[in-house]
Structure 1
């Protein structure tokens, strides 16, 4: 039997955590957040409204929800590591196929399937990270922060790959950017597979039938739903807003890179907070910070305000996801972690389904994207109020 993902030396624990983080880079950084960079050239080339542009991410989130619903059954049948690796490879292939599509129907289908595959990557990786964090070698909050902060690596990669490719003086240049994202994803998946070779989570433990009491986590789930609803509007449309505000390619690349680096560093910023609190305080505090970051580019076009927004948003938003895994770990038995993480992932996905189209619908009205992002900030503040009421259960 291969060794479990439990107590290790600090070096090996961190090495595995970073390898798992590369899978997050694929499932979130490349498969979802890179779309913000691609939306302006695709919208211009394909004649999309804001609603259509947002609907592409709504369909992606719907696929993510389906994948999250299917994940527990996959984890009961297979080891978590194979689910992680296969899902990451499939996600990358689907990203590359975006480069071969121009019709809306084909792109909707690819966004949906990419969402399904990326959910398998994210849920299985989250389970492995939670079990890895159970060992005494490294503080659990740091392990979870590294895993979820891996999305920042994907954001940085996207910020370096997409603008020069999508900006080429040729028809459909954005298609080459999708192909490059797929290639980058395959490289990341290969590294994850190699670095975790010989390490498996016990399939029975991963899918053990221990109940997860949804009712006792109601306020946490509600706050997390509002997070999914609110944050995705920013991550879908912020680059489009900056384009409308006449930010050039260099500034946009720097902004998105800063956002990605903030996401990577967030594992160190918030590890202590996630470890100290067993209630909804981390989720509430982080939602408040996100609301403020979302409002900054609404209130001011000054580059300092915009870059501060990106730095704060990047340094916070994936730590919200980590906070829910920490909440499950603190308050549920290990045999219920799989179902708990899946429950929060499903809630997250449901919010993301509504968010992009909702913001796009508002943005097509008289207030434009400024109004859409202001609505996102209001939803995040509501999420903070709900999360604040989540009590520790043990």
Structure 2
């Protein structure tokens, strides 16, 4: 039971609020919005492309439209949060994401599938931003563990990836004799999203009784969010959006082209997801210690290394290392921007700061899949496309390294 419901600042020595369990339950929002709604498509891209005769450009456009929807949702979220509590936005967005995932199984024409990916992107932005704000609120009540709690939330994406990796291949195999076998995988994933939504009702109910901390909680006066103060971090995060999504969209297709078996691909994607789950422990200290762009720069640089490996070699141990490194880093990049906002702005400005970073994140993701798909349709194929992804990540690292604490 939750006993600490006072609006006064919480005393950590007597507080019995189950912060870790709340963060774990909240992390289902990240599982729905990114781990399943966005990244499960990487597993479905190869069978859908083969069945529907898509080019890589069109296959990439599916995630570009998802990212465009995410951008629309990110732009709408600050307006919505002034009118709707974030706890309600979290649950409504998750319900909508579940609906649009299910609808994706009912169409085979490109236009309605693009529309469903767009709408799912809108819903996932509502979930991800609301969940991130609630996770930051948890961290404000536990300053010594704030990086860890944020990492748990964002690491929930790994749970969604693991569920997708273990669930999609058996469904595809079981439905192999059905027309458009991939549709059954969309429906299975939609049911998983609905279950996650039901489980998130508990943290939403508890956090509705935990008011946002007062602005003086971080002892930062009346500082307000200004884009120019975060310009280098925002630019570096846009590079992350461009680079990471190319890897997550096309790496499974590249592994299939290189001759990896279905078992190897399942293992690769599962371990990538497990690494995401572990990443909250790995990088929590880094996020807590640094107030500037160092974490964002370092993590972007490591992702560039992970992204380039499968473009250069098909040696299985190196490919596995690429997946483990990528999984262990990429969602901590997202957590690093929330930590940057939390370190440098008062709580009343967190929503504005998180939304700004989410917008540039979404803008980068709009560019990434289509550009990588277009490159992959030309000479050099998917391997050359991932070279572009690695380059974008390294450019983002260089820009983020210039961000200073306020």
TM (normalized to structure 1)?
A: 0.96
Instruction: List aligned pairs for 1:172-251, cutoff 5 A.
Output: 172-200=180-208, 202=211, 211-251=224-264
Measure the CA separation in 2 of the matches of 1:110 and 1:4.
Answer: 41
Aligned to 1:82: 88
Residues 321-369 of structure 1 deviation map (CA, whole Å, 9 limit, x = unaligned): 0000000001111111000000000000000000000000000110100
Cα gap change, 1:53/1:186 in structure 2, threshold over 3 Å: closer, same or farther? same
Shift of 1:197: 1.9
Measure the CA separation in 1 of the matches of 2:319 and 2:39.
Answer: 18
Measure the CA separation in 2 of the matches of 1:289 and 1:373.
Answer: 14
Shift of 1:210: 7.4
- The secondary structure found in structure 2 opposite 1:102 is coil
Measure the CA separation in 1 of the matches of 2:304 and 2:168.
Answer: 27
Q: Does 1:259 align with 2:296?
A: no
Measure the CA separation in 2 of the matches of 1:217 and 1:128.
Answer: 22
List alignment gaps of at least 5 residues for structure 1. Answer: none
Q: Is the 8 A contact 2:301 2:393 kept in 1?
A: yes
Aligned to 2:99: 93
Shift of 1:104: 0.7
Residues 38-59 of structure 1 deviation map (CA, whole Å, 9 limit, x = unaligned): 0000000000000000000000
List alignment gaps of at least 5 residues for structure 2. Answer: 216-221
Q: Is the 8 A contact 1:35 1:236 kept in 2?
A: yes
Aligned to 1:40: 46
Measure the CA separation in 2 of the matches of 1:355 and 1:281.
Answer: 24
Measure the CA separation in 2 of the matches of 1:388 and 1:296.
Answer: 23
Q: Is the 8 A contact 2:223 2:345 kept in 1?
A: no
Aligned to 2:176: 169
Measure the CA separation in 2 of the matches of 1:325 and 1:199.
Answer: 19
Of residues 143, 146, 167 in structure 1, which corresponds to 2:152? 146
Question: How many residue pairs align between the two structures?
Answer: 391
Aligned to 1:31: 37
Shift of 1:136: 2.6
Q: Is the 8 A contact 2:213 2:347 kept in 1?
A: no
Higher mean C-alpha deviation, range 345-354 or range 134-143: 134-143
Higher mean C-alpha deviation, range 93-102 or range 140-149: 93-102
Measure the CA separation in 2 of the matches of 1:96 and 1:149.
Answer: 24
Q: Is the 8 A contact 2:88 2:204 kept in 1?
A: no
Q: Does 1:270 align with 2:283?
A: yes
Aligned to 1:104: 110
TM (normalized to structure 2)?
A: 0.93
Measure the CA separation in 1 of the matches of 2:197 and 2:140.
Answer: 24
Measure the CA separation in 2 of the matches of 1:260 and 1:210.
Answer: 37
Measure the CA separation in 1 of the matches of 2:388 and 2:257.
Answer: 19
- The secondary structure found in structure 1 opposite 2:379 is coil
Measure the CA separation in 1 of the matches of 2:7 and 2:320.
Answer: 42
Aligned to 2:389: 376
Aligned to 1:286: 299
Aligned to 2:219: none
Q: Does 1:51 align with 2:57?
A: yes
Measure the CA separation in 1 of the matches of 2:147 and 2:69.
Answer: 29
Computed over aligned residues only, the root mean square deviation of the Cα atoms, in angstroms, reads 1.9
Shift of 1:374: 0.4
Q: Does 1:342 align with 2:366?
A: no
Measure the CA separation in 2 of the matches of 1:299 and 1:232.
Answer: 18
Measure the CA separation in 2 of the matches of 1:173 and 1:194.
Answer: 35
Shift of 1:96: 1.2
